[in-house]
Chains A and B, each alone.
Chain A
Amino acid sequence: MFRYYVWLALRSLRRNPVLTALMILAIGLGIGASMTMLTIFRAMSGDPIPQKSAQLFVPQIDNAGPDHAQKNGEPPDMLSYTDAQALMQAHAAPRQAAMYPTGFVLMPADPRLRPFKVEGRATYADFFAMFDVPFKYGGPWGADEDQSRSDVIVIDSKLDDKLFGGANSIGKTVNLDHHDYRIVGVLDRWTPQPRVYDVVNDKFGEVEGVFLPFTRAIDQQQPLWGNNECSFDKDPDPGWEGHLRSECTWTQFWVELPDAGAVERYKTFLGNYAAEQHRSGRFHWMPATRLRNARQWLEYQHVVADESRILVVVSFSFLFVCLVNAVGLMLAKFMSRAAETGVRRALGANRRAVFAQCLVETGVIGFAGGLLGLALTAAGLAGTRAVLSETVTRLTHLDPADMIIAVALAVAAALLAGLYPTWRATQVQPAWQLKAN
C-alpha cells in the first residue's frame, strides 16, 4: 500500500500545484534557514579533539593585578615568559607545553623556488602527544631535544609537498631565517577547527607549516607573530632579554591532566605558585588563578559568538513559523478533498488507511521541502562568504551527513506539521460527504 500512497501523493501534489508549491516553499525556507545557521554554528562550535578536551587544561595567572583587571576580573589569557618557564620547569603535570606563534623566511634548496614566508610555532615535545597530532613520516622531537635546544623541526604535509614533492623528508634540512633545521617529522593532514591550541591569536586559522622547540626559538630570538598583551607593563626593558623579563603575556600554555585527582593537584600547585610569587614580592596582590579545560576554554574565549547562538534560535523559530504555515496549508488541502476521503471510506478505507495516505503525502511534501531546503542551505552558505570571514566560510560546507539530516529534518517537520490535518482528515464522516457531494 505504501507505493500506492506515494503514487496517490504525487498525483495529489500535481493536482494543486500552487498549494503544493507553497507548502514545499514553506518547509524548504524553514529548513534552509535553520540548516544554514546550524551548519555555521556547528563548524564554529565543534570540539576538534573530543577524546581529549576534558583532559587538556589552560592555566591562567593574574600577573596584571587589580588595577588592570581584564574581562570582569579574569586573569590574562596568556602567560608571561617568566610564568611559562616556571610552570614548564615545575613539571607538575604529566604533560605540558608552552608555545608561541612565530614565522620564518624559508630559503628553498631548489633554486627554482623563491624564498617564501612560513608560519611557525615554537613549542615543546609534549605538544604533539597532547593534541593527538597525526604524523605522516617520522614523529615529534623528544624532551632531550627540548633540553638541548636542538635545531630540529616538524613540518606539515603541505610544506613537505611543496619542498619535497610529498616524499619522506625525514633527516633533510630546511633553511629558515638562514639557519638549517633538520626535519624529524612530517604531519599528516591535521585541521583542528577551531584551532583549539591557540584561539587567542586566530580561532579558525590554519595549522602552522613549521614546529620547532620553544627553547631553540628563544635562543634564536624568533620573533613573536601573535598578540603581546603589555597594557599592564607599560615600560618593559628594551631588547630580547627585556621582552623575556617583562610581565607582558604572549605564551599560550597547556597541560594534560588525565583524571580529577590530577586536576585538583594541579590547581593546588598553581595556587601555591601564585602565592609564592606574592610572598616573594613580585606582586603586591594575591594573584588569582584559573584552570579551564579545552571545552570551557573555547566557551570562555567566545569561539562561538553569542550572536551565533541567537541566530540559530531565531532560524529554528523561523522554521517553526514555516511549519505553522504548512499546517494551515495542509489543513486546507486535506479538507478540500473531504469528498474524496468520504468516497474512499465508503469503498472500504478504514481510518488508519486514510491516516496513512495523508501522512505519506505530508512525507512526500517534506521530502520535496528537504530537497529545496538543501538547495537553499547551499545558497545560504554561499551567501555567508559575502558577510563572514574566509576562515569561517572555509569550515562551512554540506557533507553527506548534513544532507541526510536536512532531508530527515524536513520529513520529520512535515510529518509533525501534518499530524493535525491528517487527524482531521480521518474524522471525515463519509455519509455526510457523499450526500453533500
Chain B
Amino acid sequence: MLKMSHLAKVYRTEVVETYALRDLSLNVREGEFVAVTGPSGSGKTTFLNVTGLLETPSSGQYLLDGEDVSQLGDDARSRIRNEKIGFIFQAFNLIPDLNVFDNVDVPLRYRRMAGAERKKRIGEALERVGLSARMRHYPAELSGGQQQRVAIARALAGSPRLLLADEPTGNLDTQMARGVMELLESIHRDGATIVMVTHDPELAVRAQRNVHIIDGQVVDLTEEPRFHGVNAAAARTQATG
C-alpha cells in the first residue's frame, strides 16, 4: 500500500539545512493500522505531510498504491490526495460557514462527481459516523467529538485507499477521544488502511503496529502487529507472509 525508501526531507535557508526526515524507510500493508509516535520535533508531522502528498520529499522514493509519487506535480498530487487519501486533523479543520453536509461534500466536489452520487455518499458517510441527523448543523453547533466525526465522515466519503490521522484525539476530552478511537478501530475493521500520528502511548497501543520516529528516522519497528476483528486473520497472514 505504502512503501517509502530512504526518504529525506530537508528545509534549506541561506545559512542552515534542517533534516526533518532522513533515510526513512517504511512499508505499510493494505489494511494495516499503524501508529506513528515520537517526541515533539521528531519529524512526525513532516512524515505525515509527505505521506499525504502535502509536501514532496527532498530525496528517496515513495510508492503509494504501487505508483511512484515522490516527485509528482501539483495537479497529480492534488488528484491523488482527492482520490486515494483521507485526512483527519487534530483541529478537525472543518469549514466554519459550511454545514455538515457541505463540509463532507468538499472532496467530492473536486472529484466532479454527479450530484446524486455525492448525496448518496455523504449520507452513507454521515450514517457511518452516527451524524446523519445533524446534516444541516454548522460546526459551531457541534461538540468537539462530533466535529471530529464529521471530519472522519469527510475523509471516508471519497472511499480513500489510505486514511491519515494527525493526533485525531488531541483536542478532545477523554470520553470523546475514546469514542473517536473506537470509530477509527471500527473503520479499520472494515478494511481501511490507517496511519495515525500520535504522541499518546495509550492510543498508540491500540494500533496494530507502532512506528517510532526520532530525529526524522524510523528507529523502532519491533512490536508485533496486533489485529482487530474480522481482518485479523488476513492481516496476520500478511504480516507473517
CA distance A280 to B10 in the complex (A): 99
A348 touches B79 (CB 8 A): yes
CA distance A108 to B98 in the complex (A): 75
A347 touches B79 (CB 8 A): no
CA distance A342 to B54 in the complex (A): 10
Does B82 count as interface, using CB distance less than 8 angstroms?
A: yes
Does A350 count as interface, using CB distance less than 8 angstroms?
A: yes
B110 touches A347 (CB 8 A): yes
Interface flags, B77-98, vs A, CB<8A=1, else 0? 0110111000101010111011
Does A345 count as interface, using CB distance less than 8 angstroms?
A: yes
B93 touches A15 (CB 8 A): no
Query: Which residues of chain A have C-beta atoms less than 8 A from B49's C-beta?
Result: 431
Question: Which of B81, B91, B112 interacts with A347 by CB under 8 Å?
Answer: B81
A15/B97 contact (C-beta < 8 A), A347-B81, A347-B154, A431-B54 known? yes
B110 touches A348 (CB 8 A): yes
Question: Which of B75, B93, B154 interacts with A437 by CB under 8 Å?
Answer: B93
A434 touches B79 (CB 8 A): no
Interface centre among A346, A347, A350, A352 (most CB of B within 10 A): A347
Does B107 count as interface, using CB distance less than 8 angstroms?
A: yes
A348 touches B111 (CB 8 A): yes
Interface residues of B, count at CB 8 A: 29
Does A435 count as interface, using CB distance less than 8 angstroms?
A: yes
A348 touches B82 (CB 8 A): yes
CA distance A311 to B81 in the complex (A): 54
- Residues of chain B from 47 to 77 with CB closer than 8 A to chain A in the complex: 49, 52, 54-55, 74-75
A434 touches B54 (CB 8 A): yes
Q: Within the complex, what minimum Cβ distance (angstroms) separates B129 from chain A?
A: 17
A339/B78 contact (C-beta < 8 A), A348-B110, A348-B111 known? no
CA distance A436 to B107 in the complex (A): 21
CA distance A343 to B89 in the complex (A): 10
Q: Which residue of B lies closest to A349 (CB)?
A: B110
Can you pick out 18 interface pairs between chain A and chain B where the beta carbons lie within 8 Å of each other? Answer: A1-B112, A11-B98, A345-B78, A346-B81, A347-B106, A347-B107, A347-B110, A348-B82, A348-B107, A348-B111, A349-B78, A350-B74, A430-B54, A431-B55, A434-B89, A434-B93, A434-B166, A435-B45
